[in-house]
């Protein structure tokens, strides 16, 4: 267990550590619109960076030592000059109180340098505190898992087995019902925004700046992680309820801005969509030159918009109902409940697997739901070939087709069919005339 919880601890620690980044992004977004807050932003960046990356900062401090000393000595000499007339004891008292007030004033006025100077002391305390808090949280969650007898426990155990995600993580996820309010596709190398989509009234101010900032932060964090851990990238950056889900894929970063942490299911949904985008547009992404008036950008944005808008249809309520019903059952009949869980999980994973194989074979993101003993397929196709592939996969299964296809594609198919018929007609009449000639 310690292995697993250590890993989740690490995840949780990451989430906590990058809390402020997001807050910072938001601040920058609104502030940079006026482009007047250079000093303030630098302050904020400094604070954020300083607070969290003690190793890097210790190094930085060591290198810029002369600067820091210069600043500190400037104030110290003033203080000493002020109090030097009294005796030694008086001087030390004077120093104590003056230092306290100078410190608080200087932290106000000259944040970077003061934090630079104080950081080595504070940094360790902060990270120890954070680590402790996380450990307590994880302990209490693990306790819940061990003590709690509930249906969800078994459901979770099975889900953990099937999905390979730790139970603790699943427990953490069970409370969330996250909505994506923005999606960004960012060119990895240059940090330039390729396309974006937002929920209505949830537009992110100055998305191009935010994209560059996000990519710089991602560069920075990855660089830092590469030097400190084996893990190769950060995926989830959270602040309070706000969460950035960052997927690094080929030549782009795709970022989902959410109002809560996505659960396992949602993450795989997002991933499927991301995979679809990357597969479809990888050539375009690779050669992106900063010009967002390209046709591909328009189509891409529309797709992303459709994905965001589709969230409303799959309302979180149905999920909750399922959970509370499950809870209710456990008090009624433990055995029956266990059976129910088994079916639920089985069904869920059968559908999930089906979705995955549909995606693999067609490249289309298709949702599979179940009504009684009939499967329903939802999603958008872009070609008839995809449709035929799906029919082949679904052979022998009872299913209703709720798939959509652009009209042009159907028109196109009809016109090619017509052409084929025409060709056949010509062939037929040719054959006929040859036969006639032979006779």
Partner 1 sequence: MIRKKILLLGDFNVGKTSLIRRYIDKTFSEKYLTTIGVKISKKEIELNHEIYEMLIWDIEGATPQKSIPQSYYNGASGAIFVADISRSDTIEGLDAHIQTFNYLNPDRPYVIAYNKIDLLNEEQQKELPNRHNAFFTSAKTDTQVEELFTHLAQEIFND
Q: Which residues contact partner 1 by CB under 8 A? A: 32, 35-36, 38-39, 41-43, 45-46, 49-50, 59-60, 62-64, 67, 112, 187-192, 208-209, 212-213, 216-217, 219-220, 222-223, 289-293
CB-wise, 138 or 186, nearer to partner 1?
A: 186
Q: How many CA atoms lie within 13 A of 210 on its CB side?
A: 29
The minimum distance between CB 258 and partner 1, in angstroms, equals 23
- Please spell the DSSP secondary structure of 18-32, one letter per residue: THHHHHHHHHHHHHH
Sheet holding 193-198, edge to edge: 193-198, 180-187, 252-258, 242-249, 236-239
CB-wise, 87 or 293, nearer to partner 1?
A: 293
Of 177, 189, 294, nearest to 241 by C-alpha is 177
CB-wise, 58 or 384, nearer to partner 1?
A: 58
Beta bridge partners of 198: 182
The minimum distance between CB 217 and partner 1, in angstroms, equals 8
Contact call for residues 246 and 30 (beta carbons, < 8 A): no
H or E stretch covering 168: helix 167-173
CB-wise, 117 or 345, nearer to partner 1?
A: 117
The minimum distance between CB 182 and partner 1, in angstroms, equals 18
Phi, psi of 238 (to 5 degrees): -120, 150
The minimum distance between CB 190 and partner 1, in angstroms, equals 3
CB-wise, 34 or 96, nearer to partner 1?
A: 34
The minimum distance between CB 221 and partner 1, in angstroms, equals 10
CB-wise, 212 or 305, nearer to partner 1?
A: 212
CB-wise, 4 or 102, nearer to partner 1?
A: 102
Spatial neighbors of 144 by CB under 8 A, at least 6 apart, are 171
The minimum distance between CB 47 and partner 1, in angstroms, equals 9
Phi, psi of 374 (to 5 degrees): -110, 135
Spatial neighbors of 259 by CB under 8 A, at least 6 apart, are 178, 179, 181, 241, 242, 243
Beta bridge partners of 379: 366, 403
Rg, the chain, Cα only: 30
The minimum distance between CB 112 and partner 1, in angstroms, equals 6
CB-wise, 45 or 405, nearer to partner 1?
A: 45
The minimum distance between CB 300 and partner 1, in angstroms, equals 16
CB-wise, 14 or 113, nearer to partner 1?
A: 113
Q: Where are the alpha helices (DSSP H) in 363-406?
A: 384-393
Hey, what long-range contacts does 63-72 have (CB within 8 A, 24 or more apart)? 64/116, 67/113, 68/113, 68/116, 68/117, 71/110, 71/113, 71/117, 72/117
Token pair of 407, please? Answer: 């009209």
The minimum distance between CB 42 and partner 1, in angstroms, equals 5
CB-wise, 70 or 420, nearer to partner 1?
A: 70
Contact call for residues 251 and 30 (beta carbons, < 8 A): no
Rounded distance between C-alpha atoms, residue 98 and residue 104, angstroms: 10
CB-wise, 113 or 159, nearer to partner 1?
A: 113
Rounded distance between C-alpha atoms, residue 86 and residue 79, angstroms: 12
Rounded distance between C-alpha atoms, residue 194 and residue 204, angstroms: 15
Which residue is it, tokens 């008839």?
384
The minimum distance between CB 319 and partner 1, in angstroms, equals 39
Distances (CA, A) of 423 to 49, 409, 414: 69, 21, 14
The minimum distance between CB 80 and partner 1, in angstroms, equals 24
């Amino acid at each position: 267990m310690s292995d697993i919880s250590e890993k989740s601890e690490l995840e949780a620690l990451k989430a906590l550590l990058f809390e402020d980044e997001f807050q910072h992004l938001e601040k920058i977004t609104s502030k940079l619109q006026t482009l007047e807050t250079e000093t303030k932003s630098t302050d904020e960046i400094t604070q954020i960076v300083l607070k969290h990356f003690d190793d890097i900062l210790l190094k930085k401090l060591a290198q810029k030592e002369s600067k820091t000393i210069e600043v500190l000595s400037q104030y110290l000499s003033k203080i000493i000059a002020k109090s030097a007339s009294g005796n030694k004891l008086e001087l030390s008292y004077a120093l104590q109180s003056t230092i306290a007030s100078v410190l608080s004033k200087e932290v106000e006025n000259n944040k970077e340098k003061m934090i630079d100077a104080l950081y080595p002391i504070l940094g360790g305390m902060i990270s120890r505190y954070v680590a402790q808090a996380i450990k307590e949280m994880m302990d209490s969650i693990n306790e819940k898992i061990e003590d709690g007898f509930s249906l969800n426990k078994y459901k979770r155990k099975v889900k953990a087995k099937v999905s390979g995600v730790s139970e603790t993580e699943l427990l953490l996820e069970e409370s969330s019902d996250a909505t994506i309010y923005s999606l960004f596709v960012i060119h990895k190398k240059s940090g330039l925004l390729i396309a974006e989509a937002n929920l209505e009234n949830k537009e992110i101010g100055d998305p191009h700046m935010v994209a560059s900032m996000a990519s710089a932060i991602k560069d920075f964090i990855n660089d830092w992680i590469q030097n400190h851990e084996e893990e190769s990238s950060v995926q989830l950056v959270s602040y309070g309820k706000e969460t950035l889900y960052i997927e690094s894929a080929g030549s782009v970063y795709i970022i989902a801005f959410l109002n809560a942490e996505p659960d396992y299911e949602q993450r795989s949904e997002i991933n499927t969509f991301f995979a679809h985008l990357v597969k479809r547009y990888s050539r375009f992404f690779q050669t992106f030159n900063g010009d967002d008036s390209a046709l591909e950008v328009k189509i891409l944005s529309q797709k992303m918009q459709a994905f965001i808008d589709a969230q409303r249809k799959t309302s979180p309520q149905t999920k909750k109902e399922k959970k509370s019903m499950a809870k209710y059952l456990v008090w009624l009949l433990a055995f029956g409940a266990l059976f129910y869980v088994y079916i639920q999980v089985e069904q869920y994973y059968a559908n999930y697997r089906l979705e995955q194989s549909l995606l693999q074979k067609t490249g289309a993101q298709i949702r599979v739901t179940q009504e009684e003993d009939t499967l329903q397929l939802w999603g958008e196709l872009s070609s008839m070939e995809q449709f035929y592939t799906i029919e082949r996969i679904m052979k022998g299964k009872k299913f209703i087709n709720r798939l959509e296809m652009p009209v042009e594609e159907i028109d196109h198919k009809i016109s090619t069919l017509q052409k084929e018929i025409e060709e056949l007609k010509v062939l037929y009449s040719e054959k006929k005339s040859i036969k006639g000639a032979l006779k």
